[in-house]
Amino acid sequence: MASHPSAERLLAFAASATAGHRAPVVTWLDLRRRMGVSAAVLANWKRRGLSKEGAIAAEREFGCSVDYLLTGNHPELSPLALALARHLDRVADDVNTHEHAYAAAVAVIDAIAAKYTNMVAAQQHAQHE
């Protein structure tokens, strides 16, 4: 049985984004481990499609656009990741500059993702009260 298109997009993007890494995402098991989700959650994504929360977590982990994952619409990269990539291309005159800029960009993305995750959690909590 074929997996849901949104789950397939996530696996393909994760594989591309982690190619050449020490621990690349190649299989569904790799993806599950990297995303920190249970086998049941992954099975649900494969059967019914990514949840909004799963797509947000994937954006944080791999830099892919939530819209791309859920709908297949382009661009594949999140708007923030695209802007940072353009900036890095402009300022990276050598490898050291690029590595430092990349580390700073990742820190910014992590901070924004944590704030967004907290906002989503607060909204969900408020809806359940």
- CATH number given to 1-77: 1.10.260.40
**C-beta separation of 117 from 52 below 8 A:** no
* Residue 102: predicted pLDDT: 64
Question: Any residues with CB less than 8 A from the CB of 30 and at least 6 apart, and which?
Answer: 14, 23, 24
pLDDT for 120: 73
In Å, what is the CA distance from 66 to each residue of 15, 21, 70, 72? 17, 23, 6, 9
Distance of CA 93 to the CA centre of its chain: 27
Shortest CA distance to 8 belongs to which of 78, 70, 82? 70
User: Does the pTM exceed 0.85?
Assistant: no
- The residue-averaged pLDDT of 2-8 equals 94
For the cut 60, the answer to whether the pLDDT of residue 53 exceeds it is yes
Q: How confident is the model at residue 90 (pLDDT cuts 50, 70, 90)?
A: low
| 22-40: average pLDDT | 95
